Each structure stands twice: as C-alpha cells, then as structure tokens.
Amino acid sequence: MNVFFHACSNWAANVAINHSKNILESLKFFSCFFVLRTFVRRMKQLLIFALILVSFSSCRKNSFYEGGDAKLEFSTDTVFFDTVFTSLGSSTERLVIFNPYSENLVIQELRLAKGKDSKFRLNVDGIAGKSHEGIEIPANDSIFVFVEVTIDPNRSDAPLVESDSILLQTNGNLQDVDLVAWGQDAYYYRPTTLIPGLPVFSRLSSYTEPPYFFGDTVEWFNDKPHVIYGYLLVDTTFTLKIHAGTQVHFYNNSGLWVGPGSALSVRGEKDNEVVFQGSRLEDYFQDRPGQWDRIWINEGGRSVIQHAIIKNGFVGLQCEAWPFNEPLVYAENPVVIQNTVIQNMVGIGLLARDHKIEAENLVIYDCGTHSLAVNGGGTYDFIHCTFANYWSGNRSEPMVLVNNYFTNYLGVETTRDLSHLYFGNSIIFGSKEEELKIDEDESGIFDLTFDHCILRTKQDTSDLANYESVIFNPSSSFGVNPVFTSTFDDDYSLYAESAAVDSGKVNINKLNEDILGTMRDAIPDIGAYEYKP
C-alpha cells in the first residue's frame, strides 16, 4: 500500500510537474504572441507614420516655385571660348545654371538666339539640341549646359568675333547668357577687371611676355588683326606703339584706354594707315556708326597719332585729364595728331577736356552731335584741319562746341581755364547754318583765336581780335558746295573754285605736305587738303 501510494504519489507529482511545464510553455507562447502582436502593431504605426512623412516630404520635393520674380543664377554672364584657331577646330565650354530657391524650378524654354543659324551647339544635362523645353531644376540644385562651337578661321567670310546668346524663360521672365568665340587667327584682348564707375577692362601688361617693367613699350605689328573686347587699359608708365598697317577692331561698347601716366604711339604711314574700327567686317558695316565706344587718353606721356583712320564708333578720341583727380589737373604733355581722319561717330569726333592737343592735317566729318567739342580748359592748336559735317540723320547741335566749363562726376559745374585755343588755316563748314557754338564763362580764362579760317556761323564776329582774315559763310552761285569737292561722296578735298584755295596763312604749318602727301605751295590752301590741279 505504501508502495502503491508512493508510486501513485510519484505519478501524480510527475503529472503535476509536466502540467506545470505545459502551463509555463503556454504562458511563454502567449507572452511571446502578445509581445509580437504589440511589436507588429507598433511597427505598423511607425510604418504609417513613415509613409506619412515620406508622402509629406515627397509633396515638398515636388512643389514648384511659380513666383513671377523667378530668376536663375549663372556661373558666368558670358561664356568665352578663348581658343584662337589657325585651322578648322572645335571647343567646348561649360555653363552652370543654379536654382536658388527651396522649391523646384522649371525653365519653360532654353534656346540659342540665332536658332538653326547659330554656330554654337548645346547639350543640356546630356540632351543635345539648339532648343529645349520644360527643364526641371531641383530645389537649391543646378544643371550643366555644355556649349560647343566649331570655327573655321580660313573661311573668306569668317567674322572676327563669333557671337550668340542663350535665351532662357522662367515663369515668364527672360534672361540671357552671351556666347563669344574668336572667329579668326588674330590677337584678342578680353576684360578681366571690373571697378565700379569704370568700364570693364583688361591690362595691356597682362598680355606681354613676363617679366615686364615700368616704362616698357609694347609694340603691335600688322601680321594679324588686334581685336579688343571690353576695354584695354595701357598701364601707367607703359607706351603702346602701333605700327603702320595694323588693323585694330573693337567689339560692341569696347574701347582703348590710355590711362594716367601712359602713352599711345600710332605710327601709320601714307597709304598704310593704322585703322581703328568695329569688329563687323560685312559690307553693310563699313560705314555704320556706333559699333564701338572710343579711344580715351588721360594725362601722361607725349602721345602721337600719325596716319590713322578712326571710324564708326561713338566718340573717336576723348582726350581728357583724369576726371577723378582732386584737385583737377591739366595735361602737361600733348597728344600730337597728324594726317588723321575721324569719321562716322554717333556722338563726338574729338572731345577735349583739360588736355593739350597739337593737331595738323586732321579731318573730322559726319558726327551725330559735334565733330569737335572743347569742353573745359586746356591748350589746343588746330592747324590745317578740316571739320565738316553732313550727318545723314537728325543733328540739332552745331558741329564745333567751345566752352570753358563742364559738370564734374559729382554733378558740380566747374569752370576751367581755356588758356589757348587756336584755329589756323582751318575749315569749320557743314550742312547747318550755324556750325559754331561759343559759350564762355567769364570767371575763367577764355583765349580763342581764328586765324585765316573758313567758318559757317551766325555768331557775332565783330571782335576782330578773335578773328583774323576769316572767310565767313562762303556761297557759290553755281549751286555747288562753296568749299568741298563732293560731300555726297564724303570727298572733302578742294576744287579749283573752292573758297579755301590760296586763302591760307604762310609759315604756320609744321608739315610741308597735306594729308595726302601733296606739297603745299607758296600760298597754302585752308584745310587739311591742298588743291591739286
């Protein structure tokens, strides 16, 4: 019995133990299930939250800036191709376009201005074509535009400068980026420096073989054209010497700046002049004014311009002491101009201010405002010069302006001393009844003399101290110009019955020949041309 009871007890104990184990296992299972279910529920919640975040983020990424003030930003405003080709070749440059906004931006259109006629080709983010639409730039991101050009410098009609522009439209706003490539085998000068208040420029010294020294003379020869893009500054103490036959071309709004302390030496020869003109070579542009800006000469060393042709700009020569000097100064060394023609200027042929000029055998014709403007002070001699103006457009101002004051860069009117202004054996004659404007501020020196000149004017000329042997307002009974051979053909030489023939003063000229190399006789003619039967 005891044995049986003991056996039963053992059996019961084993059953109890096993049952307990099963209960524990069940509890473990249900516990794990509960934890797992809780975990899954939590994961589900997190997943839903994440999806909401992703969805929200996606919505933000896909939002677009649609403001009417949308403006793209560019890595540069002008893409330059600096390679100078001597034979057929291609070059590629990169432009980066930035979206500065925190939302996506769409460029509705990006194209070349010249379209299918352009020499340039575009690749926008891997897609080639001269025109593209619907270009999306992600928020605060950028895209690359690769621009390629092929140049054949040996083409008979190859331009000096190959240009176009990329036009972009974003939310209705138009922007552009210029494209500029060198089209011929030439010497090119492009701007590298921008100072507020001055034109963008490069320095002549940066194009010389190093080392360079103060006082150096840099020489330009006629082996290839020289093409200036922007302004080229002749550095202080440098002299730019340009040899006979050299062709100097300027791109739009470009010019040559002979800075304070520097000098210009133009050494053209008869029938082998140095020519300053625009960069367009087509026939249509041969006599089109306004293609470039000017030659600006500040006070410095003695500058010389001989046998030059300066044409088709805005201002031919601007001889002006540095206008930002405090106090203002007068140029001490002269600009000597001989056997030179300035023609077809939109504004002024020769602008002189606080400078010193010695001109002989100078011809200035067809300028939109003034052929000559002496504005402010200085010292000037014009001997055997011809100022003619038969400008084809509207011209309201007299051809020659003389005054001794100007408004400075601060907007303050400043009176200066016009110490000496002498016209000898010179012609001032044009299409208007009044071709001379004299405006004197009596608080400054005003010394003006016309000696053996021809003038077309209605000014009061009763003060004989200022006018010696002057021919006023000549006329012709034959209906022809009383002075010039043919104004229609821009021929300002003299004919046999011209009022200028044998009317000059002897022994005032330094040069024995006229602008064409004709010897002046015992009684010289008035003007730059000597009549030759």
Q: What are the residue ranges spanned by the domains of the chain?
A: 73-182, 187-494
pLDDT (tens digit per residue) in 339-395: 999 999 999 999 999 999 999 999 999 999 999 999 999 999 999 999 999 999 899
ω into 327 cis (within 30 of 0): yes
Six token digits for residue 446: 């005003």
Average pLDDT value for residue range 455-479: 90
**Topology of the domain covering 73-182:** Immunoglobulin-like (2.60.40)
Which structure tokens are listed for 191? Answer: 């701007």
- The better pLDDT of the pair 380, 158 is held by 380
| Cβ burial 353-387 (10 Å sphere, 16+ → b, else e) | bbbbbbbbbbbbbbbbbbbbbbbbbbbbbbbbbbb
Q: What is the mean pLDDT of residues 214-233?
A: 94
Token couple for 208:
């010389």
User: Which pLDDT score, from 0 to 100, does residue 214 have?
Assistant: 76
User: How many whole angstroms separate alpha carbon 407 and alpha carbon 358?
Assistant: 25
The answer to which of 30-44, 165-179, 250-264 has the lowest mean pLDDT is 30-44
Distance CA 343, CA 306 (A): 16
pLDDT value for 266: 99
Confidence band for 463, pLDDT divided at 50, 70 and 90: confident
Do residues 145 and 133 lie in contact, with contact meaning Cβ atoms separated by under 8 Å?
Answer: no
Q: Which amino acid is at 293?
A: D
Query: What is the number of other CB atoms lying within 10 angstroms of the CB of residue 496?
Result: 8
> Pairing between strand 239-243 and 308-311?
unpaired
Please state the rounded mean pLDDT for residues 459-481: 89
C-alpha to C-alpha distance for 372 and 368, rounded to whole angstroms:
11
In the chain, the amino acid numbered 155 is: R
| Digit-coded pLDDT (tens) for 268-289 | 999 999 999 999 999 999 999 9
Distance CA 239, CA 357 (A): 18
Distances (CA, A) of 307 to 37, 116, 291, 426, 515: 101, 43, 21, 18, 8
Nearest Cα neighbor of 421 from 408, 394, 439, 407 is 439
Instruction: Note the pLDDT of residue 48.
Output: 47
Instruction: Determine the straight-line distance between the first and last CA of the chain, rounded to whole angstroms.
Output: 170
Cα gap 387→371, rounded to integer Å: 7
Pick the CATH number of 187-494 from 1.10.3470, 2.160.20, 3.40.225, 2.60.40: 2.160.20
Q: Quick one: pLDDT at residue 157?
A: 85
Whole-number mean pLDDT of the chain? Answer: 90
User: Across 138-251, where does the E strand assignment appear?
Assistant: 142-151, 161-170, 173-182, 187-189, 201-203, 217-220, 226-228, 231-234, 239-243, 247-250
Strand pairing class (226-228; 187-189):
parallel
pLDDT at 50 over 50: no
Distance of CA 248 to the CA centre of its chain: 15
Whether the bond between 211 and the residue before it is cis, its omega within 30 degrees of 0, is yes
**Number of other residues whose CB lies within 10 A of the CB of residue 2:** 7
| Beta-bridge partners for 240 | 218, 264
Residues 6+ apart with CB under 8 A from 90: 148, 149, 150, 151
Question: Is it the case that residue 51 has pLDDT exceeding 90?
Answer: no
Percent of the chain with pLDDT over 90: 81
Q: Whole-model pTM?
A: 0.85
Dist CA 478 CA 228 (whole Å):
47
In degrees to the nearest 10, what's the CA dihedral of 26, 27, 30, 34? -170
Count CB atoms within 10 A of the CB of residue 209. Answer: 6
Residue of 448, 425, 436 whose CA lies nearest to 523? 425
* Cα–Cα separations (whole angstroms), residue 323 to 66, 314, 361: 47, 19, 29
Please state which of the ranges 123-127, 292-296, 314-318 shows the lowest mean pLDDT: 123-127
Q: Mind listing the pLDDT tens digit for each residue in 401-425? A: 999 999 999 999 999 999 999 999 9
For the stretch 300-339, pLDDT in tens is 999 999 999 999 999 999 999 999 998 999 999 999 999 9
Number of Cα atoms under 13 Å in the Cβ half of residue 57: 6
Least confident of 27-31, 68-72, 241-245: 27-31
Helix (H) or strand (E) holding 328: none
The tokens 């030496």 sit on which residue?
265
Residue 291's alpha-carbon distances to 249, 283, 285, 301, 320, in angstroms, are 10, 14, 8, 29, 22
CA distances from 227 to 85, 135, 248 (A): 14, 37, 6
